[in-house]
Amino acid sequence: MSHSSSGRPDRRNDRFGYWPVTAPFVGSLVVLMLIALILINIAGYAYERVGLSVGWFQVIIIASILGSRVNIPIAHFPDEERVETAHVVAFGVRYRVPSVSHTGKTVLAVNVGGALIPTAVSIYLIYHDHIWVHALVAVACVAVVMRLVARPVAGIGIVTPALIPPVTAAIIATLVGAPAVAALAYVCGTLGTLVGADILNLPRIRNLGAPIASVGGAGTFDGVFLAGILAVVLATL
């Protein structure tokens, strides 16, 4: 080991005993990893409660995250509004407005990760657990609440606060009751949010200047994704 003139070790030549990144970065990385592990464990618990295996849980989570980037266009309508800002803040969340030239029309699309996959899982749970009537009532109740709290945001579309859907779904699933409360919480959390926040608000997305209005995407993906998972956890505590 080399030494400086002051007698202290010269750390400039210590090739094997130093951090290649700064301490704040390492600390942030550790925190993010811990949060990710906690969320994965919570999600795994939720899917286990509704009766889905670990294999299906992994497939659904990965497909939902990757599918959140995929929007399937189904229609379009004229829109006169233009939005110049690049970012919009709603309910404390910063959203990026797609950087495309507005052509005077809004494309209506369905998000794979935030709409199609949760809907498919919900239909399976309704059929598997025979909760047709319970699901109808619970979804309708959650949809009414979501219709009231959802907010149209220029340049984005419809936005919902992330925690209201799962809390509402858990309460309603518990009150309605069913042979499978966990499954009912997932169903009304996802479908109730999709129906109330997106579908019932379709007339409000006109003249928002949003190049694309995605059912289950952008401002409601976090609501739908969290609603299904957290509603199950809250309903089964």
**Is the predicted pLDDT of residue 18 greater than 50, yes or no?**
no
Q: Is the pLDDT of residue 212 over 80?
A: no
Banded model confidence at residue 138, pLDDT cuts 50, 70, 90: very high
**11 domain residue, yes or no:** no
- Tell me what pLDDT residue 52 has: 80
CA nearest neighbour of 225 among 163, 132, 147: 163
Q: Do β-strands 87-90 and 151-153 pair in parallel, antiparallel, or remain unpaired? A: unpaired
pLDDT at 66 over 70: yes
pLDDT digits (tens, 9 = 90+) for 93-113: 555 555 545 556 777 888 888
User: If pLDDT is split at 50, 70 and 90, which confidence band does 121 have?
Assistant: very high
Looking at residue 144, its pLDDT comes to 95
* CA 224/CA 50 separation, integer angstroms: 16
| Structure confidence at residue 150 (pLDDT) | 83
Total domains, the chain: 1
E-strand spans in the chain? 71-78, 87-90, 93-96, 105-111, 151-153, 157-159, 212-215
Please determine, for residue 177, whether its predicted confidence score (pLDDT) is greater than 60: yes
Structural domain that includes position 114: 18-235
Question: How does pLDDT run across 218-234, given as a tens digit for each residue?
Answer: 656 666 777 788 788 88
CA distances (Å), origin 80, targets 88, 125, 153, 158, 166 = 19, 42, 15, 18, 35
Phi, psi of 128 (to 5 degrees): -65, -40
Predicted pLDDT at 230: 78
Beta-strand (E) ranges in 42-182?
A: 71-78, 87-90, 93-96, 105-111, 151-153, 157-159
Q: Which of 99-103, 121-125, 202-206 has the lowest mean pLDDT?
A: 99-103
Tell me whether residue 9 is in a domain.
no
In a domain, 10, yes or no: no
- The verdict on pTM exceeding 0.95 is no
Q: When comparing pLDDT for 195 and 51, which is higher?
A: 195
